[in-house]
Amino acid sequence: MSTQVREWQADLRAAAGAGRIEGLDGLRALAVTAVLVYHVRPASLPGGFLGVDVFFVVSGFLITTLLLRELNAKGRLDLPRFWVRRVRRLVPALAAVVLVTIPFAWLTDTDLLVGLGRQTLGALTFSTNWLEVAAGTSYFTATAPQLFVNFWSLAVEEQFYLFWPLVLVAVVAATTSASRRVLAALAVAVVSATLMAVLYVPGEDATRVYYGTDTHLFGLMLGAALAFAWAAPGGGPLAVSGWQRRRGPVAAAALAALLVLMLTLRQASPVTFRGGILLGSVLSAALVAALLGPPSRFQRLMRLRPLEWLGRRSYAAYLWHWPVLILADALVPTAYDSAAHWALRAAAVGVTLAAAALSFRLVEEPVRRLGFRACARRVAASLVSRVPARRALARAVAGAGALAVVASLAAIAVAPERTRTHDRLLAGQRAVDASADRAEVVAPVTPDQPSPTGPQAPDRSMPTGAEITGFGDSIVVTSVDGLEARFPGIMLDARSNRQWRDGEQAVQARLAEGTVRRAVFLDFGTNAGVRDEALVRRVLDSLGDRLIVVVNLYGGSYWVPEANATLERIVASYPNAVVADWHAAISQQPRLLQADGIHPGIQGAHLYADVVARAFAQLSEHLTGVPVDLDAPAPGEPAADPAASPSRKPTRGLAEPSPAATTMPSPDRAV
């Protein structure tokens, strides 16, 4: 054996017995940064959710390494002591987030309290993932923000911490070599990844697959396999000279590949669940492996002071960032990507980092080093301290804590069962269904239809409500009041969570029964965007010569910009179609949205109807050359009295949509 290899093995043995692995904090910092960017602006890093899987790999490696060290040193595991250490590490910071967030949420918007009892129970018992699955809530299409939705990953990790020590003892007892232990861990990882791939059904909600401990265990097990390999005599495969020479280039390649994956992977894509998350976990394991050994450039990079600072506080930053973002959005509604929106997000990130720093210094470190009892004794001593300032501060903190506990319990007790958004969806759905009941068989005139005077051109005049059929998702459902006020007699066919695939089926069904009128507007894809351009074209083709308005999307999801660009491109090739720019109109007045920042409120529903009306008007003007006066009554309708008509009042006084609020096809495509 060469001298260099022996030196490497000595370094590895020394590192294996040390309590700290250099560079892992930097890797944690990269992971939490990816998650932060993803939640601040998904379009900038659509695969940033892989930061959670980096955490899983690091946690699986560290916990397994700690257990193996204790097993090798003592010949047994002190499981109660291990679990107490985990509680010390995780619970204090989590409890602080819960007790601070709930009272602020109560003061901000009661919609944020829906499901709060279940969320709090899940947070404090590390069962968030399974409680949310059992409740049928969706991580991907929720109609209201959940304060503690990010705690699902903590639940997966804590469940791993609870059961893995028992399994590890059995694996060590049943095997005699590190290679077999590695294979056992890898086998579990493969089974878990296979379950995720098999149970995922494209087009269906993937919350169960994403949240499941069984289906999302593979990252933790890849970390465990790496720990088994590192614990092999002499460093095992990590001491091979070939690996030691190549670990630098491997780290660079893995880091670059992980970044590319984060930039390209989409959470709604089948590739994500059928290999994408697994690949991200494998790359994460390669990065951890590259840190094990003598000092290297990659290790020095991961030990940069800003990375180490953030990495040591990454747990608290992960806990705080989501509730802070939710509260900020509820307090100050802003349009996505506006200057105000960026300022608000920057402030939220600043608050997150400040809260993480305070949590680390005042909560996490004291409890981790001293334990619960010693910390309680210190607090009690401070309450009766002879130093006035210290005593006053301790009593103020204790009083604030007690008030937070009482306020949190009270908020849970009075939490509503449903959000206002949900109530509006239920009421809107009833109104939509009632309008669909008014459907009558119509016979639209097309150029192919004979008439006593010969072929008759289609009617391109501004349609009335009795001449319009609207198809859509929950945005249409929550806008029904505005649509019926603007277009009396309109027929609507809408359902929550409809995507373009479902929309095509709805349109085909209405066409088959002959109830689609001469003017149609379409609004699908709020929860998934536009995945199939050919499908959208089939829908437009099936509507023939009708006047068609396609409403674009608004929201912070990564798919919104690309979906709107796709709709723009498709509609440009149809002379009888136009894009209604809901995105531009509501971006000017985000306060008209409900608490979820997606669905229109009461006034927002009237703005939505105005956007659709202006789209039909501009399309009609473009095709006929006849100006349309939107304030004039439609033929056969009485003149509107602004002072007496509640249907008109909400629309007046609203800011006019920008000139880009309706996108017309190019003039050379006009009929």
Q: How confident is the model at residue 528 (pLDDT cuts 50, 70, 90)?
A: confident
Residue 651 domain-assigned (yes or no): yes
- Per the listing, tokens 């994956």 go with 261
Number of Cβ within 10 Å of residue 626's Cβ equals: 10
Q: Indicate the range of 22-31, 141-150, 337-346, 510-519 predicted with least confidence.
A: 141-150
Q: Express as a percent the part of the chain with pLDDT over 70.
A: 87
pLDDT reported for residue 423: 80
- Per the listing, tokens 């894009």 go with 579
Segment 22-27 shows an average pLDDT of 93
Residue 447 domain-assigned (yes or no): no
Which amino acid, 667? P
Instruction: Identify whether residues 398 and 432 lie together within a single domain.
Output: no
Give the C-alpha separation, 32 to 29, whole Å: 5
DSSP 414-432: H--SS-HHHHHHHHHHHHH
Question: Reduced to 3 states, what is the DSSP secondary structure of residue 550?
Answer: strand
Instruction: Identify whether residues 358 and 485 lie together within a single domain.
Output: no
Instruction: Identify whether residues 141 and 272 lie together within a single domain.
Output: yes
Instruction: Identify whether residues 366 and 332 lie together within a single domain.
Output: yes
Which amino acid, 404? A
- Per the listing, tokens 């809408």 go with 494
Residue 410 has pLDDT above 90, yes or no: yes
pLDDT reported for residue 456: 65
Give the C-alpha separation, 236 to 215, whole Å: 29
Report the candidate in 211, 216, 212, 230 with the shortest Cα–Cα distance to residue 285.
Answer: 230
**End-to-end Cα, the chain, rounded Å:** 83
pLDDT reported for residue 296: 87
Residue 92 has pLDDT above 60, yes or no: yes
DSSP 177-204: SHHHHHHHHHHHHHHHHHHHHHH--TTS
Provide the residue range defining the domain that includes 283: 3-414
- Per the listing, tokens 């990495």 go with 311
Number of Cβ within 10 Å of residue 269's Cβ equals: 15
Report the candidate in 421, 470, 476 with the shortest Cα–Cα distance to residue 593.
Answer: 421
Instruction: Identify whether residues 60 and 180 lie together within a single domain.
Output: yes
Q: How confident is the model at residue 87 (pLDDT cuts 50, 70, 90)?
A: very high
Q: Indicate the range of 26-40, 356-370, 625-639 predicted with least confidence.
A: 625-639
Q: Indicate the range of 219-223, 235-239, 261-265, 488-492 predicted with least confidence.
A: 235-239
The model's pLDDT over 488-513, given as tens digits with 9 standing for 90+, comes to 999 999 998 888 999 999 999 999 99
- CATH code assigned at 566: 3.40.50.1110
pLDDT reported for residue 237: 76
pLDDT reported for residue 161: 96
Last residue of a domain, one of 381, 414, 447: 414
Name the token pair of 530: 């536009």
The answer to whether residues 571 and 564 touch, using CB atoms and an 8 Å cutoff, is no
Query: Higher model confidence: residue 621 or residue 419?
Result: 621
pLDDT reported for residue 235: 63
Task: Kindly report the length of the chain.
Answer: 671
The per-residue pLDDT of the chain, averaged, comes to 86
Last residue of a domain, one of 344, 379, 414: 414
pLDDT reported for residue 658: 41
Residues 6+ away with beta carbon under 8 Å from 366 = 375, 378
The answer for 371, left when phi > 0, alpha when psi is -120 to 50, beta otherwise, is: left
Residue 4 has pLDDT above 90, yes or no: no
pLDDT reported for residue 155: 96
Q: How confident is the model at residue 597 (pLDDT cuts 50, 70, 90)?
A: confident
Residue 16 has pLDDT above 50, yes or no: no
pLDDT reported for residue 50: 97
The model's pLDDT over 270-321, given as tens digits with 9 standing for 90+, comes to 999 999 999 999 999 999 999 988 888 999 999 999 999 999 999 999 999 9
Instruction: Identify whether residues 579 and 559 lie together within a single domain.
Output: yes
Residue 12 has pLDDT above 60, yes or no: no
Instruction: Identify whether residues 8 and 59 lie together within a single domain.
Output: yes
Q: How many domains does the chain have?
A: 2
The model's pLDDT over 443-479, given as tens digits with 9 standing for 90+, comes to 554 544 444 555 567 889 999 999 999 999 999 999 9
Residue 95 domain-assigned (yes or no): yes
Q: Express as a percent the part of the chain with pLDDT over 90.
A: 62
Instruction: Identify whether residues 401 and 427 lie together within a single domain.
Output: no
Residue 650 has pLDDT above 50, yes or no: no
pLDDT reported for residue 275: 95
pLDDT reported for residue 637: 53
pLDDT reported for residue 647: 39
pLDDT reported for residue 11: 47
pLDDT reported for residue 594: 85
Question: Reduced to 3 states, what is the DSSP secondary structure of residue 442?
Answer: coil
Residue 591 has pLDDT above 50, yes or no: yes
* pTM metric for this prediction: 0.83
The model's pLDDT over 127-179, given as tens digits with 9 standing for 90+, comes to 999 999 999 888 876 656 789 999 999 999 999 999 999 999 999 999 988 99
Q: How confident is the model at residue 642 (pLDDT cuts 50, 70, 90)?
A: very low
Torsion sign, CA atoms 451, 453, 458, 460: negative
Instruction: Identify whether residues 12 and 44 lie together within a single domain.
Output: yes
Instruction: Identify whether residues 400 and 486 lie together within a single domain.
Output: no
Report the candidate in 232, 243, 197 with the shortest Cα–Cα distance to residue 218.
Answer: 197
pLDDT reported for residue 19: 52
Residue 459 domain-assigned (yes or no): no
Instruction: Identify whether residues 367 and 285 lie together within a single domain.
Output: yes
Residue 314 domain-assigned (yes or no): yes
Residue 104 domain-assigned (yes or no): yes
Residue 444 domain-assigned (yes or no): no
Residue 380 has pLDDT above 70, yes or no: yes
Residue 478 domain-assigned (yes or no): yes
The answer to whether residues 528 and 469 touch, using CB atoms and an 8 Å cutoff, is no
Q: Using CA atoms in the order 460, 462, 463, 465, what is the torsion angle rounded to 10 degrees?
A: 170
Residues 6+ away with beta carbon under 8 Å from 328 = 344, 345, 347, 348, 351
127 φ, ψ (degrees, to nearest 5):
-130, 20
How are beta strands 491-494 and 468-472 bridged, if at all?
parallel
Segment 54-78 shows an average pLDDT of 94
Instruction: Identify whether residues 378 and 425 lie together within a single domain.
Output: no
